Amino acid sequence: MRYGRTGDRCRLELRGHAAGSSAACAGLSALTNALTLYLERHPVRVHALEEGEGVYSADFTGDDAAAAVWACVVLGICSIAAAYPEQVEVAGEG
């Protein structure tokens, strides 16, 4: 995972699969689905949103609430990465 925030602009990118752990895969899917639903239902400016087989990317500008949702998703993914380090790698901000 790569992520970054500059001011009110937030970015998140995941590539690949959490092969070998259905729990990690399900957790990542739930978190990215939640972020997508938030972006679709709230007043944010979506610069890019890509969802596909083994890829998720979101780039958006929003208010403090949108940034808080993004931060929760990033923290959730970091938590999954800590529990499943062989399946999920956090590259950090970028």
* Gap between the Cα atoms of 61 and 47, Å rounded: 8
* Gap between the Cα atoms of 54 and 45, Å rounded: 24
φ and ψ at 20, to 5 degrees?
95, -5
Of the given ranges (13-17, 45-49, 74-78), which has the lowest mean pLDDT? Answer: 13-17
The model carries a pTM of 0.93
Structural domains of the chain, count? 1
Contact 92, 75 (CB under 8 A): no
User: pLDDT for 40-66, tens place per residue?
Assistant: 999 999 999 999 989 999 999 999 999
Which CATH number does the domain housing residue 32 bear?
3.30.70.1490
**What domain range is 75 assigned to?**
2-93
